[in-house]
């Protein structure tokens, strides 16, 4: 139900360059005359009065967040996903806008499908997005150690809940990489690419698809 718009998802573990790629790609597409909305974590954080459910990162970084169970974390992320779709993604797609969203469904699915039945989880997440499916998904593939170094360079106060997630980062990255057998997925080696090179590579993919 993407209507007239075009939806691009950017997936990957924390610190892999999702937001950087999302924002760089949006700037390039806008320069080319394609009306593009970037729904990144930075967009949400820069909103003066975001809906409480959208500001998920502040919730999981709060004191005692380590007490949250996997089910509670999934519920919070799913609620945020649903709200983000309702407030930003679906209205933009209905207007024919190109939407770039970092961490839509796939990263959540590979992270939590080891705790919850994968098929049940997929149905649950699809319900949260009201059936909206990306036209193309870019996966930011990176070594977890490098991603963690990047994350710590901008956030030295990672709470225990975040540290626990980092212990699973390699498994999550491997499972995301396996999704690229689908023709609508493209994986970028973010260990080797600069920000500019990653955006240029994404543009080439979209050109080859005939979108640009």
CATH of the domain at 37: 3.40.50.300
pTM: 0.85
Q: Does some domain include residue 44? A: yes
Q: Does some domain include residue 210? A: no
Supply the range of the domain harboring residue 126: 6-205
Q: Does some domain include residue 14? A: yes
pLDDT of residue 51: 58
pLDDT of residue 161: 47
In total, the chain counts a number of residues equal to 212
Q: Does some domain include residue 184? A: yes
Q: What is the pLDDT along the chain (212 residues), one digit of tens a residue?
A: 556 899 999 999 888 889 889 999 999 999 999 999 998 766 655 544 455 556 666 666 666 667 778 888 888 888 888 988 998 899 999 999 999 998 889 999 998 998 889 999 999 999 999 989 999 999 999 887 777 777 666 666 655 445 556 667 888 888 898 888 877 899 999 988 988 999 999 999 999 988 88
Q: Does some domain include residue 157? A: yes
pLDDT of residue 52: 56
- Report the domain count for the chain: 1
């Amino acid at each position: 139900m993407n209507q007239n718009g075009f939806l691009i998802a950017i997936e990957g573990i924390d610190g892999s360059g999702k937001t950087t790629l999302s924002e760089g790609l949006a700037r390039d597409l806008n320069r080319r005359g394609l009306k593009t909305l970037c729904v990144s974590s930075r967009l949400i954080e820069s909103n003066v009065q975001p809906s409480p459910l959208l500001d998920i990162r502040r919730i999981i970084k709060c004191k005692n967040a380590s007490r949250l169970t996997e089910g509670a974390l999934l519920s919070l992320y799913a609620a945020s996903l649903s709200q983000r779709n309702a407030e930003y993604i679906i209205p933009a797609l209905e207007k024919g806008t190109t939407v770039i969203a970092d961490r839509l469904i796939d990263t959540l699915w590979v992270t939590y499908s080891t705790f919850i039945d994968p098929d049940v989880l997929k149905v649950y997440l699809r319900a949260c997005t009201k059936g909206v499916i990306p036209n193309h998904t870019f996966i930011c593939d990176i070594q977890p150690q490098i991603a963690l170094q990047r994350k710590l360079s901008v956030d030295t106060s990672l709470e225990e809940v975040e540290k626990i997630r980092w212990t699973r980062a390699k498994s999550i990255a491997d499972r995301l990489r396996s999704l690229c057998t689908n023709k609508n997925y493209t994986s970028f080696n973010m260990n080797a690419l600069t920000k500019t090179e990653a955006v240029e590579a994404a543009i080439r993919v979209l050109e080859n698809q005939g979108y640009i």
